[in-house]
């Protein structure tokens, strides 16, 4: 299908409002802490603010300005360089370098290697994280972006910063579990009480990626990547799904985009290492397609196992990440079907962007948030354009 231009989503200004705008304020942080500490008792206190944010988002953001996010910049680099691969217009290289330069200047300070995080204060079940806290779920996108920018420009500053991330992995992140053949790491630099499966899939992928770029450390890096791989694959359930936490404690859940993170990172790990793991990915993908996709909309639902009540039926992030996995796996027909549904239900032609969520009443929240998930969708659209070019070239042979 024809894709509208995404050039305008690549910069130079990538400051954006965000779904967490309310929840990063002092009031929002306090409300989230109350909810995590008190559970259902705190719902009457928190629920009005959730409803206000969902159904009057512009009112909430009248007093909260847009800001920059590292993953937005990283995905802009990757998308711009994908487009440069299709069309060697120097504007794409310029846009990529602008965002790559931003990443170099906005690393999380005080750590042993290059790393990045959310860039806003975050309250979770596990506690409070300051704005500059780096995370293993965010850093790999920035590393991928810098390596890709190095490949395009051969500028050493991108390579040297990217490989320094190994020191962040080795020194700043804690090992939360290890055995003779498995290991699991923390989400961030703190000691966490629960192990997040998708976070370890990112660590697995990043170790494998670094092994391809640091031949002098290849064997040691692949050994650690392999132990993380064993942990992530052992966490897969018999039906192909993955829980968010690798435990049976209260508050666990199975959702679409975190499941897709795991599969995406497994596919990349396989490409970097040569390990045949497609049966593992296909088992997970069969679960997602069979249990998340709504036959009436052809969109992926948020949860199959939910920890909290929600008014949300469909989220753009789920569609972007599932589309990404389908393209990585070469499932072009399924990808086309999902993309058509996304364009029908989420795309806003007058804004040349995408809405945020569709609620249980079928109403689209028309706020366009780059981090969640206009930029992930922009990146996957650039991947789609490459895949379509590849399919066309193959058919003409």
Q: How many residues does the chain have?
A: 397
At 397 the pLDDT is 62
At 237 the pLDDT is 99
At 125 the pLDDT is 86
Q: Put the strands of the sheet holding 364-365 in their side by side order.
A: 312-315, 357-359, 364-365
| Structure token pair of residue 122 | 């975050």
Stretch 40-53: mean pLDDT = 92
In the chain, DSSP assigns E strands to 122-124, 127-129, 175-178, 183-185, 254-255, 293-294, 299-300, 303-305, 312-315, 347-348, 353-354, 357-359, 364-365
Percent of the chain surpassing pLDDT 90 = 94
Q: Does the pLDDT at position 78 exceed 70?
A: yes
The answer to whether 9 and 17 have CB atoms below 8 angstroms apart is: no
At 22 the pLDDT is 96
Residue 309: which pLDDT band, with cuts at 50, 70 and 90?
Answer: confident
Q: Does the pLDDT at position 390 exceed 90?
A: no
Q: Does the pLDDT at position 394 exceed 80?
A: no
Stretch 26-53: mean pLDDT = 93
Q: Does the pLDDT at position 311 exceed 80?
A: yes
91-130: pLDDT as tens digits: 999 999 999 999 999 999 999 999 999 999 999 988 999 9
Determine if the pTM surpasses 0.75.
yes
Q: Which of 165, 147, 167, 166 is nearest to 157 (CA)?
A: 147
Q: Does the pLDDT at position 90 exceed 90?
A: yes
Q: Does the pLDDT at position 239 exceed 90?
A: yes
At 378 the pLDDT is 99
Residues whose CB is less than 8 angstroms from the CB of residue 379 and which lie 6 or more positions away in sequence, other chains included: 75, 78, 79, 82, 320, 324
What integer best gives the mean pLDDT of the chain? 97
Cα dist from 236 to 243, 291, 292, whole Å: 8, 15, 17
Stretch 308-328: mean pLDDT = 97
257-294: pLDDT as tens digits: 999 999 999 999 999 999 999 999 999 999 999 999 99
Report the chain's C-alpha Rg in angstroms.
20
Q: Does the pLDDT at position 395 exceed 70?
A: no
Q: Does the pLDDT at position 40 exceed 90?
A: no
Alpha carbon of residue 318 to chain centroid: 10
The answer to whether 342 and 377 have CB atoms below 8 angstroms apart is: yes
Q: Does the pLDDT at position 382 exceed 70?
A: yes
At 241 the pLDDT is 99
171-211: pLDDT as tens digits: 999 999 999 999 999 999 998 999 999 999 999 999 999 99
At 396 the pLDDT is 66
Percent of the chain surpassing pLDDT 70 = 98
Stretch 12-38: mean pLDDT = 96
Stretch 335-359: mean pLDDT = 98
């Amino acid at each position: 299908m024809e894709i509208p231009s995404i050039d305008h989503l690549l910069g130079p200004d990538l400051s954006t409002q965000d779904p967490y705008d309310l929840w990063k304020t002092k009031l929002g942080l306090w409300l989230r802490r109350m909810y995590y500490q008190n559970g259902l008792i705190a719902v009457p206190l928190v629920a009005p603010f959730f409803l206000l944010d969902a159904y009057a988002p512009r009112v909430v953001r009248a007093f909260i300005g847009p800001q920059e996010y590292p993953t937005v910049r990283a995905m802009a680099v990757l998308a711009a360089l994908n487009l440069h691969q299709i069309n060697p217009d120097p504007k794409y290289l310029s846009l990529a370098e602008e965002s790559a330069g931003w990443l170099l200047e906005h690393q999380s300070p005080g750590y042993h290697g290059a790393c990045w995080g959310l860039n806003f204060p975050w309250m979770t079940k596990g506690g409070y994280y300051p704005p500059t806290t780096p995370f293993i779920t965010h850093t790999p996108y920035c590393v991928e972006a810098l390596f890709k920018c190095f490949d395009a420009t051969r500028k050493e500053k991108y390579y040297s910063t990217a490989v320094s991330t190994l020191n962040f992995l080795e020194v700043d992140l804690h090992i939360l579990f290890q055995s003779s053949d498995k290991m699991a790491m923390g989400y961030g630099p703190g000691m966490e009480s629960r192990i997040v499966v998708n976070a370890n899939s990112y660590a697995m992928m990043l170790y494998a990626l670094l092994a391809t770029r640091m031949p002098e450390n290849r064997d040691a890096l692949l050994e650690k990547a392999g132990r993380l791989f064993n942990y992530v694959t052992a966490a897969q359930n018999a039906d192909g799904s993955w829980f968010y936490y690798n435990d049976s404690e209260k508050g666990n859940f199975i959702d679409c985009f975190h499941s897709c993170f795991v599969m995406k990172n497994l596919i990349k790990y396989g490409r970097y290492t040569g390990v045949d793991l497609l049966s593992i990915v296909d088992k997970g993908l069969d679960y997602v397609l069979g249990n998340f996709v709504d036959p009436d909309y052809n969109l992926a639902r948020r949860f199959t196992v939910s920890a909290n009540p929600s008014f949300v039926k469909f989220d753009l992030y789920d569609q972007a990440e599932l589309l990404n996995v389908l393209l990585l796996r070469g499932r072009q027909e399924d990808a086309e079907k999902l993309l058509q549904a996304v364009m029908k239900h989420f795309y806003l032609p007058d804004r040349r962007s995408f809405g945020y969520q569709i609620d249980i009443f079928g109403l689209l929240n028309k706020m366009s948030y780059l981090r969640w998930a206009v930029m992930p969708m922009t990146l996957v659209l650039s991947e789609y354009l490459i895949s379509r070019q590849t399919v066309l070239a193959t058919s003409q042979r």
